[in-house]
Structure 1
Amino acid sequence: MRTQANGWQYFVATLLIVTGVINVIQGLAAIFTPGFFVATETQMLILEYGAWGVLLGLWGVVLVAAGLAVLSGSAWARVLAIVLSALNAVAQLAFLIAMPLWSVVVIAIDILVIYGLTAGWPITVGDDDSERSREASYQAGYRAAHDRPRAAPRPTSSPEHGHQQSNN
Structure 2
Amino acid sequence: MSDESLVKQGVAAATSMVAAIVLLTIGILHVLSGVSALMKDDLVVAGPEYIYQFDTTAWGWIHLVLGVIVAAVGVMLFTGATWARVGAMVICALSLLANFLWLPHYPWWSVVMIVLDVFVIWAVATWKPGYEERL
Cα 1:44–1:29 change in 2 (3 A) is farther
Match of 2:74 among 64, 67, 85: 67
Give the partner amino acid of 2:82. A
Give me the identity figure in percent.
29
Q: Which has the larger radius of gyration?
A: 1
* Amino acid across the alignment from 2:106: M
Unpaired runs of 5+ residues, structure 1, are: 135-168
Match of 2:52 in 1: 45
SS in 1 for 2:46: coil
TM-score in terms of structure 1 length: 0.67
Q: Which residue of 1 aligns with 2:63?
A: 56
Q: 2:120 aligns with which of 108, 113, 116?
A: 113
Q: Who is 2:40 aligned against?
A: 33
* 1:80 aligned partner: 87
Aligned length: 125
Higher deviation after alignment, 75-84 or 116-125 = 116-125
Q: Structure 1 residues 43 and 35, CA, compared in 2 at 3 Å: closer, same or farther?
A: farther
Task: Kindly indicate which of the two structures has a greater share of residues assigned to helix.
Answer: 2
Q: Which amino acid aligns with 1:12?
A: A
- After superposition, the C-alpha distances for 1:39-65 in whole angstroms (9 at most, x for unaligned) are 259758231010110111011000000
Larger RCO: Structure 1 or Structure 2 (Cα < 8 Å, ≥ 6 residues apart)?
2
Give the TM-score of the pair, scaled to structure 2. 0.82
The CA RMSD measured in Å over matched residues stands at 2.4
Partner SS, residue 28 of structure 1? helix
Deviation at 1:33, TM superposition (A): 1.3
- Structure 2 runs not aligned, ≥5 long: 1-9
- 2:47/2:104 contact within 8 Å kept: no
SS at match of 2:30: helix
The runs of at least 4 aligned residues of structure 1 exceeding 6 Å deviation read: none
What is residue 15 of structure 2 aligned with on the other side? 8
> What is the alpha-carbon distance in structure 1 between the residues aligned to residue 79 and residue 47 of structure 2?
42
